[in-house]
Amino acid sequence: MRMTFRWFGEGNDTVSLKHIKHIPGVEGIVWSLHDLAAGVEWPMDKILEVKKQADEVGLNIDVVESVNIHEDIKLGLPTRDEYIENYKKTIKKLGKVGVKVICYNFMPVFDWTRTDLFKELEDGSTALFYEKAIVDDMDPLQLVSMISDNPDFTMPGWEPERLKQLSSLFEAYKEVSEEDLWDNLKYFLEEIIPVAEENDIKMAIHPDDPPWPIFGLPRIMTCKENLRRLLSLVDSPSNGLTLCSGSLGANPENNVADMVREFADRIPFAHIRNVKVYENGDFVETSHRSEDGTVDIYEIVKAYHEVGFTGYARPDHGRHIWDEKCRPGYGLYDRGLGIMYMWGIWDSLTRMKEEVN
């Protein structure tokens, strides 16, 4: 397991590269060019700038999250080919600087969805929270207003240029079924996977967050069967998964450890985090510790250990603790604690294996 840490760039993150380097076992950053709109070709000078910053502190830039996909690709519009060509050019550039994994998602309109960015927990910390009844009854524009009311940081997946087109996007998706979305995803993968293969890059799709339809929009990366179908669309080692325990774990019917064991050779990137799921469908993000949530993080890390996982992993969303002022879900302290919890499990499993042998 190769540990990484998500970083949003200088001036866009409260966490410094120097502080990331202090976390034991972290060897790279998970990064993106967050100021660029979906669908554009990434400029090489901006890519090299991030590489230079990471090189200066001895961190790699092997994992990119995300090269966002233009909505025209998801909608299957004739204009998609232009944006796919830009995507291919970006893949080639990233390959030249040593990038090994590109995480992306295929969620229509919205990326991750929450109703409270700072829900107070019993211990006084705060965390990202999803209240099902609010989403069921809420106008999408209200949700946009709530998420966007965080002027200090850009919110990945909630880019202003995309959300300005919200009404027209919802109108466009009225004619798009789940099967249409599958067809459009297949078209995209058939175009870009050969380019990824040529450049020694693994594409790793992120599950839908949460893993069910919202606001009547189709969602397809939701369960083991659908992940299996995704991998069969283009059967290539470069067509892989970002297996996110928190996104999939929001549905208690999803057994993430089983997914690790089944898809082991097609998981180049792992997001490891915990959520506490309530009977009414609400969920809140917790510490990584298994006992604090519904997702058995110990069993998931154990599954990765059993299969000999050598891919990249990162602690996903953390709580906001110790009065840290940070991007929602992306502080230094709780994610640092999460890494040490994962290393504690991993090292114990390694020691036990050595003692048995």
Q: Which residues are catalytic?
A: 206, 244, 271, 316-317, 330
Helix, coil or strand: residue 100: coil
C-alpha 254: how far from chain center: 17
Enumerate residues 6+ apart whose C-beta is below 8 A from 196: 91, 102, 202, 203, 238
289 in Cβ contact with 321 (< 8 Å): no
223 in Cβ contact with 256 (< 8 Å): no
Picking from 285, 306, 307, 303, the residue whose alpha carbon sits closest to that of residue 294 is 285
Picking from 10, 97, 24, 15, the residue whose alpha carbon sits closest to that of residue 61 is 97
Half-sphere exposure of residue 136: CA atoms within 13 angstroms, side-chain side: 6
Helix, coil or strand: residue 219: coil
**Residue 217 has what DSSP assignment?**
B
